[in-house]
Amino acid sequence: MKIFQTVVELQKHLLEINQLGQRTIGFVPTMGALHQGHLSLIDAARKESDYTVCSIFVNPTQFNDPEDFKRYPIQIDRDLEMLLEAKCDVAFVPNVEEIYPHGTLAKVDIDLGFIGTTLEAAHRPGHFEGVLQVVKRLLDIVQPDKLFLGQKDYQQCMVLQRLVQHCQLPVEVVICPTLREPDGLAMSSRNVRLSAEERSAAVKLSKALNAIREHIQQTPLDELLSEQQAMLSADPLISVEYLVVVHGETLEPVDTYKQTVPLTALVAAKVGPVRLIDNLILT
């Protein structure tokens, strides 16, 4: 595996690779502290493209909470070992100056419409502006054929699909399923920050989503959401930001279940000091 820290070196290498024949490049952007969920994206990229590039960059501009940024886990040596073992071809580990040589003020100006105002956008002001900024820059640098994203970040997938459409980028977006711990907790880099008690409480987020999926055909939606909200709120370690069932393609609110309407359940909650998100496609 090649490891590059600068844009110039990475691009020189990718040009050489390209000159060796028409190779499709699969790209997996990450913020490091890698887990099996990330590695499942590397696997998908390896299967669906000829050459796999993974970036590790903790993007400061997508953190609305400076404390969250400060506490974001960093374990670069372990990450590189995991990527090597996963047979990733290139690890790109730039510093902030490489990504933002002219500073961080220039933003990508895209009107996201409703998806840019609801759920994560409402709870983390400026977050998606930072995500758009960093992913646009990374796509310009790597120029991949395929971009691999995790469904775990459901709204982020929608935002990045908009980016690709809006800028008419010649890249295919591939969305990969959420990998979970055996008890159902969605894998996340942030899980390492949970204490033993918080870790036990955190599983309730996926339990709530599963209960919604199980009962949505029989129980009125408002009743079901109140029940699950109450189940989560009964735990003193959990503070729910949202627990919703929305239209799966627009994130618009829905108030009744209809089999023909795509529905997704999403949750965001603080478990102790750690903010976690999860989702489940219902129909």
Torsion of CA 219, 225, 230, 236, to 10 degrees: 140
- Of 225 and 265, which CB lies nearer to ligand AMP in the complex structure? 265
User: How long a stretch of residues is the chain?
Assistant: 283
- Per-residue exposure over 159-195, b if at least 16 CB sit within 10 Å of its own CB, e if not: bbebbbeeeebebeebbbebbbbeeebbbbbbbebbe
The answer to the question of residue 40 lying near ligand AMP (CB under 6 A) is: yes
Does the protein bind ligand AMP through residue 150 (CB under 6 A)?
yes
**Count of residues touching ligand AMP (by CB under 6 A):** 17
Options 38, 137, 199, 275; binder of ligand AMP; rule CB under 6 A: 38
Determine which one of 13, 35, 38, 247 is catalytic: 38
Nearest CA to 28 among 86, 70, 77?
86
Tell me whether residue 31 or residue 115 sits nearer to ligand AMP (CB atom): 31
**CB nearer ligand AMP, residue 61 or residue 188:** 188
Choice between 136 and 152, CB closer to ligand AMP: 152
Q: Considering Cα of 221, then 223, then 226, then 228, what sign does the dihedral take?
A: negative
The b/e string for 243-260 (b: 16+ C-beta within 10 A; e otherwise) is bbbbebeebeebeebeee
Q: Is 102 noted as a catalytic residue in this protein?
A: no
Helix 196-215 and helix 221-233, axial crossing angle in degrees, nearest 10:
170
DSSP3 helix / strand / coil % (the chain, rounded to 5): 45, 20, 35
Give 202: exposed, middle or buried? Use CB within 10 Å, 0-12, 13-18, 19+: buried
Give the residue, chosen from 189, 228, 264, 279, that forms a contact with ligand AMP under the rule CB under 6 A: 189
Find the binder of ligand AMP among 136, 152, 162, 199 (CB under 6 A).
152
CB of 81 to ligand AMP, least distance (A): 17
Q: Is 186 in the site for ligand AMP (CB under 6 A)?
A: yes
Binding window for ligand AMP (CB under 6 A); candidates: 115-123, 133-141, 148-156, 240-248: 148-156
What mask of x and - would describe binding to ligand AMP in positions 105 to 124, judged by CB under 6 A? --------------------
Residues that bind ligand AMP (CB under 6 A): 30-31, 37-38, 40-41, 149-150, 152-153, 176, 178-179, 186-189
Which residues are part of the catalytic machinery?
38
